[in-house]
Amino acid sequence: MSAPGPAPAARRAAAGAATAPAASSRRRNVALVASLLGFTVITIDVSAVNIALPAIRDSLSGGMAGLQWVVDAYTLMFAALMLSAGALADRAGARRAYAWGVALFTVASLGCALAPGIGVLVAARVAQGGAAAVVMPASLALIRQSYEDVRARARAIALWTVGGSVAMAAGPVLGGLLTDAAGWRSVFLLNLPVGAVILGLLVRVERSPRRPAALDPGGQLTAVLALAGLAFAVIEGGHLGWTSAPVLGAGALAVAAGYAFRVVEARHPRPMVPLGMLTDRRVAVPLAVGFAVNAAFYGGIFLLGLYYQQLRGMSGLEAGLMFVPMSAVVTATNLVSPRLAERIGRRQVIVVGQLVFTAAMAAMLPLNAHTPVWLVLVLLLPLSIGGALAVPALTALLMDAVPAERAGTASGLLNALRQTGGALAVALFGTLLVSAGGGFSLPGMRLGLLAVAAVLVVTAALTRFLLRRD
């Protein structure tokens, strides 16, 4: 009779070695799903709420200025806090920062759903925007932490990006469906179970290391004050009068805070926005283009959501469905843009994208209450293509223009300026869209379109003449 020997122990060790990679793979997949859900929900929140705006106005009697603040309170906080959210994620650890962001976003969504008036809703949207600014970079950092293999990480980030595109496409339809079926509050209530699922998944994600990262509270505070003052002046100027005391005070605050931001950043040993970076035209021009492109796209989405429902009398669901062809074209063009940039150069693609966007603004000028629906969809094709062509190329161009250690800073700055462009376009369009009788103003819409088109022509010229051929 032979001795038992180490066979059982060896088998257990072998089994453990075999299951370890499987367990690690499961944790990676859980981290990806959690990251994807978070990015999806903060993206849906932008486009879905645009469709719910008329219902919010009827329910809370906020007027056009109130609707502008519902959109811009979220976007401005998202933009301003994006500048330092990446550093916060590094200091706290990606998983912890992501959990904080998701938890705050979920609670703020409940606040939005229960808001008794427009003021409370705007305040809750501020909290949502701040949370979203943490969620976005932390979700990417979580993917970076979970996928060490370069190819696997690239596939994971591609899925993350596609998820955002799908969310942007689904948002208007989902917003219209929920608003028509259960009221506008259901648009925000949808975030609660999604947030709970994400937090549950994070329990199974590996703990993130903390890394030293400098914070810049002075720069962050002055950035928030400058953007808030500017947005208040633009939004309320059309309602209170451009020479009214609150509007002049807000404009003065924006100028003073902007100057203070420059001083603080110049003196900080590790500023969140190194001013020297902004003097490099290879950085400054892509940032300007990002601002202009988002102004055109998000300003256009805001305008169209009101046009479909206020001027044409469509339901929320019908208005949401009108965005589906446009969103499909955006997704397809995003896939084509990198290949086109390889063939004709990134600078050329960025210029073409801006000129297509300018054509989109011109194409929307003839729209009225009786324009055939099929013609509206055709006229909106340039709006679908312009940004989808330009953004991937300008992002790649910007990343090549900065050293590797500044890539996160440059990316945060680009996203902040893009969100700011969208917020200011909403402020501009909302101010111009109200007619003397309180209805939808077609002349105001056309004036706003021409203003955005002029900005796009300027940034296209800057791209053409200030950036070297690549």
Q: What is the pLDDT of residues 355-409, one digit of tens each?
A: 998 998 898 899 888 899 888 888 888 888 888 888 888 877 887 787 756 666 7
Whether 177 has a pLDDT exceeding 70, the answer reads: yes
Beta-carbon contacts of 49 under 8 Å, excluding residues fewer than 6 positions away, are 70, 71, 74, 175, 187
pLDDT tens for residues 189-200?
999 999 999 999
In the prediction, which pLDDT does 172 show?
84
Residue 275 region by backbone torsions, left for phi larger than 0, else alpha for psi between -120 and 50, else beta: alpha
> Average pLDDT, stretch 8-19?
47
328-350 residues labelled b (16+ CB within 10 A) or e (exposed): ebbeebbeebeebbeeebbbbbb
CA 5 to chain centre: 62
More confident residue, 71 or 2: 71
Report the range of poorest mean pLDDT among 180-189, 371-380, 426-435: 426-435
Answer for the pair 299, 452: CB distance below 8 angstroms, yes or no.
yes
The average confidence (pLDDT) of the chain is: 82
In the prediction, which pLDDT does 103 show?
95
More confident residue, 200 or 68: 200
Q: What are phi and psi of 355, to 5 degrees?
A: -70, -35
For residue 35, give both structure tokens.
């990251």
> Average pLDDT, stretch 56-69?
84
Per-residue pLDDT band for 436 (boundaries 50, 70, 90) equals very low
Of 124, 130, 110, 102, whose CA–CA distance to 196 is shortest?
102
Whether 151 has a pLDDT exceeding 80, the answer reads: no
What whole-number distance in Å separates Cα of residue 293 and Cα of residue 388? 9
Beta-carbon contacts of 273 under 8 Å, excluding residues fewer than 6 positions away, are 83, 219, 265, 409, 413
Of 456, 448, 291, 434, whose CA–CA distance to 365 is shortest?
448
Task: Give the up-direction half-sphere exposure of residue 76: CA atoms within 13 A in the CB hemisphere.
Answer: 27
Answer for the pair 396, 422: CB distance below 8 angstroms, yes or no.
no
Whether 451 has a pLDDT exceeding 80, the answer reads: yes
Report the range of poorest mean pLDDT among 58-72, 105-119, 277-291, 324-338: 324-338
What whole-number distance in Å separates Cα of residue 85 and Cα of residue 98? 10
Three-state secondary structure call for residue 106: helix
3-state helix, strand, coil in the chain (%, to 5): 85, 0, 15
Q: Which helix (H) or strand (E) holds 54?
A: helix 7-60
In the prediction, which pLDDT does 243 show?
87
Answer for the pair 177, 317: CB distance below 8 angstroms, yes or no.
yes
pLDDT tens for residues 30-47?
888 888 898 888 888 877
Answer for the pair 308, 440: CB distance below 8 angstroms, yes or no.
no
Per-residue pLDDT band for 457 (boundaries 50, 70, 90) equals very high
Per-residue pLDDT band for 18 (boundaries 50, 70, 90) equals very low
Whether 351 has a pLDDT exceeding 90, the answer reads: yes
Whether 90 has a pLDDT exceeding 80, the answer reads: no
Per-residue pLDDT band for 86 (boundaries 50, 70, 90) equals low
Whether 14 has a pLDDT exceeding 70, the answer reads: no
> Average pLDDT, stretch 301-307?
86
Whether 8 has a pLDDT exceeding 80, the answer reads: no
Q: Which helix (H) or strand (E) holds 387?
A: helix 381-401
Three-state secondary structure call for residue 370: coil
> Average pLDDT, stretch 407-431?
81
What whole-number distance in Å separates Cα of residue 35 and Cα of residue 282? 31
Whether 313 has a pLDDT exceeding 70, the answer reads: yes
The helices-and-strands tally (H runs, E runs) of the chain is: 18, 0
Per-residue pLDDT band for 461 (boundaries 50, 70, 90) equals very high
Whether 211 has a pLDDT exceeding 90, the answer reads: no
Per-residue pLDDT band for 22 (boundaries 50, 70, 90) equals low
More confident residue, 22 or 140: 140
Beta-carbon contacts of 301 under 8 Å, excluding residues fewer than 6 positions away, are 47, 50, 323
In the prediction, which pLDDT does 404 show?
58
pLDDT tens for residues 250-270?
999 999 999 999 999 888 888
In the prediction, which pLDDT does 327 show?
76
Per-residue pLDDT band for 21 (boundaries 50, 70, 90) equals low
